[in-house]
Amino acid sequence: MNTKPDEAEVSAAAQPTVDSEKSVEALSTPPDGGIQAWLIVAAIFGINVAQGGYLVAWGTFQAFYQDSLLKDKSPSTIAWIGSIQYALDCAPGLLSGRLLDAGYLRTTVVVSSIAATIANFTIPECSQYYQFFLSQSILYGVRCGFLYTPCLGLISHWFDKKRPLVFAIVTAGSGVGGALYPVMFRRLESTIGFPWTMRVVAFYQTVFLLFGCVVLRPRVRKAQNMPRLLDFRGVLRSPSYISYVFATFLAFMALFTPLTFMTVKAENIGISSDLSFYLVAIVNATTVPGRLIFGFLARRYGALNLTFVATSSSVAFILAWAFVVDAPTYITMSICYGVLSGAFLGIFLVPVTQMGDVHDTGRRTGIQMTVLSIGALIGPPISGAIQDQDNGFDMVGIYAGGSF
């Protein structure tokens, strides 16, 4: 008896069935909702509260280090800790984005969470500049970068039409965390001291990271023909992609300058130290409505159009922030800056996710985040150096407003 299948049977088996084609199509179409999808939104929101809020609250640490632990260092030198932390939140994006595309999300989340725990419990033991630099800047910053880009890229697996709104919701976590950390730090540091304050922060972050380890998972399977890690041909042939990434790079050069020097500038114009510390929390809180409102409007008017509106409007308030010398006006300008910078941060990644296939989202967002890391890296130290030379913030505002 001949058991060898004939050519017709082999040919038929090699062809995709109608059911399999429908299955692939259904898998590639984001569900735009459901329990699993919204649990993932909650997990990413929590991670942004934990690590994103910590990063944007750097102004609190900048002022504290200048006044106490690192008072022998210049503002520009201390700002390098925060700027490298900002940069490393984006710099590994090219690699971490490809890990999402390759199906290694769960491994990335677990390893990053372990690294966060190590960094958080190392910071309380620091006393020298290089120790803060290695633990708070390098180690904590790198693990943020390996978690941030995949989490944002994952949204495209689960949402399509609601994507701008979901981006705004999850990134609002940074604003919520940025409002909580300064208050937490101010209240705890004065009662239990710096080391135990940072240990409380470590436990606080661990709760959110554990939830992410349990919930986060990709929906789209690994692409069959993934480009090589350093294969940029597809994206670099797109003038719109290149132009948009360059524009957001310039914005990131200026974006963190007001947040970095918010407390220092406030104290310079006579605002009390208590209110100056809480001003960082207030400004971060105001980013939340900016993110949510612009995320909601982006569904109708387009994320790219509203990104342009947010960046253009931010320039005026950054300039005003630098030049005002009375407390009420300074607080007002800071709040306006918070709303508009939040609007930008809530939707700036959406246009890139819409410039190609969902299987390649990690690469597109990763390249953008890696480029943006350079802007985040050099922006605050340049502002600090200008402030050292000018002994004020007028030229800092011109530099930051011109870059934005």
Is residue 226 one of the residues assigned to a domain? Answer: no
Is residue 14 one of the residues assigned to a domain? Answer: no
Q: Note the pLDDT of residue 122.
A: 92
Q: pLDDT tens string for the chain (404 positions)?
A: 444 444 444 343 334 433 434 434 444 677 888 899 999 999 999 999 998 888 888 878 888 888 888 888 888 788 888 888 878 887 787 788 778 877 888 888 999 999 988 998 999 998 899 999 999 999 998 888 888 888 888 888 888 888 888 888 998 888 888 888 888 998 898 899 999 999 999 999 999 999 999 999 887 766 555 555 556 566 667 788 888 888 888 888 877 778 778 877 888 888 887 787 778 788 888 888 888 898 888 888 888 888 888 888 888 888 888 788 888 888 888 888 888 888 888 888 888 877 777 666 777 788 888 888 888 778 777 887 787 776 677 777 777 776 66
Q: Note the pLDDT of residue 8.
A: 44
Q: Note the pLDDT of residue 390.
A: 67
Q: Note the pLDDT of residue 358.
A: 67
* Total domains, the chain: 1
Is residue 55 one of the residues assigned to a domain? Answer: yes
Are the C-beta atoms of residues 144 and 88 closer than 8 Å to each other? yes
Closest CA to 129 of 117, 116, 138: 138
Which residues does 332 contact at the CB level (< 8 Å), separation at least 6? none
Q: Note the pLDDT of residue 283.
A: 85
Is residue 140 one of the residues assigned to a domain? Answer: yes
Distance CA 305, CA 89 (A): 26
* Four-CA torsion 281, 285, 287, 293, nearest 10 degrees: 180
Give me 300's structure tokens: 């109708």
Is residue 1 one of the residues assigned to a domain? Answer: no
Q: Note the pLDDT of residue 99.
A: 81
Are the C-beta atoms of residues 201 and 112 closer than 8 Å to each other? no
Helix (H) or strand (E) holding 377: helix 361-390
Is residue 249 one of the residues assigned to a domain? Answer: yes
CATH number for the domain harbouring residue 205: 1.20.1250.20
Is residue 8 one of the residues assigned to a domain? Answer: no
Distance CA 307, CA 294 (A): 9
Q: Taking the CA atoms of the chain, what radius of gyration do you get in angstroms?
A: 23
Q: Note the pLDDT of residue 68.
A: 85
Per the structure, the complete domain to which residue 336 belongs is given by: 34-220+233-403
Is residue 280 one of the residues assigned to a domain? Answer: yes
